[in-house]
Amino acid sequence: MTLASKITLGRIALVPVFAVYVARYGMSVAHGAPQEHLRWTALALFIFASATDGVDGWVARRFNQKSKFGAFIDPLADKFLLITAIIFLSAFPWGAGDWRMPPWFAYLVITRDLLIGLGIILVKRAAHEVHYSPHWTGKVCTVTQMIAIGWVMLKVNVLPPLYPCILAAVFTLWSAVNYYLEASRQIRQRAAT
């Protein structure tokens, strides 16, 4: 196993630790005695885990450690971190006035990712290959989801978390439509040949 893949697996191992700190902080908020060190630890774990995404990619390119396993596990590790953060930050309050991500946002993100996974399976079965290059809406979707996560974790009280979640929801839906259109195109193309 390559060093790049070990770094990716390390990121996956950090996710449950991050989730525990999010839950513990949320429970302390719910009991009226927020333990801020738990919030800052959760934030540090999220930032560190997110940063390893760039590190494993750099290691893979720099030391020629690209592998099929790495190409498969890296995006799964990213999704695992993002979805865990969104689920836990919608399940537990992070401040007064029910400061958290709205539950509908968590459902939207999970549904989108499940549908994309199902779409990949269907394209693989129908076209025998899946060809997809990342679209800018998918990248903006990830960035806006991370902004929404940071908004809640940092307690940016300029606006409630609803607003960055609405922005992220727009790009989440937009990228889902792009995935659908691309999957449909590949299935039609395969049927025509």
Q: Which domains occur in the chain, in start order?
A: 1-95 (1.20.120.1760), 101-193 (no CATH)
Q: What is the dihedral of CA 85, 90, 91, 93, to 10 degrees?
A: 110
Q: Residue 132: pLDDT band by 50, 70, 90 thresholds?
A: low
Pairwise pLDDT comparison (134 vs 6), residue with the higher score: 6
Q: Helix (H) and strand (E) counts for the chain?
A: 6, 0
Check the CA dihedral 116-119-121-124 and report its sign: negative
pLDDT tens digits, one per residue of 150-168: 999 999 989 999 999 999 9
Q: Average of pLDDT values for 56-84? A: 86
| 82, 172, 174, 183 from 139: Cα distances, Å | 13, 10, 11, 18
Q: Rounded to an integer, what distance in angstroms lies between the CA atom of residue 103 and that of residue 90?
A: 5
Q: Phi, psi at residue 34, to the nearest 5°? A: -60, 130
pLDDT tens digits, one per residue of 13-43: 999 999 999 999 999 999 999 999 999 999 9
Q: Rounded to an integer, what distance in angstroms lies between the CA atom of residue 55 and that of residue 14?
A: 15
Q: Average of pLDDT values for 166-171? A: 96
Of residues 61, 180, 168, the one with CA closest to residue 132: 180
**Which pLDDT score is estimated for 11?**
93
3-state secondary structure of 102: coil
**Which pLDDT score is estimated for 133?**
67
Q: Rounded to an integer, what distance in angstroms lies between the CA atom of residue 123 and that of residue 53?
A: 27
Asked whether the beta carbons of 7 and 72 are under 8 A apart, the reply is no
* Residue with token string 């800052």: 40
pLDDT tens digits, one per residue of 36-45: 999 999 999 9
State what percent of residues in the chain have pLDDT above 70: 97
**Which pLDDT score is estimated for 29?**
96
With a CB cutoff of 8 Å and minimum separation 6, the contacts of 7 are 52, 55, 56, 59
3-state secondary structure of 164: helix
Asked whether the beta carbons of 161 and 101 are under 8 A apart, the reply is yes
Q: Rounded to an integer, what distance in angstroms lies between the CA atom of residue 82 and that of residue 77?
A: 9
Q: How much is the mean pLDDT over the chain? A: 89
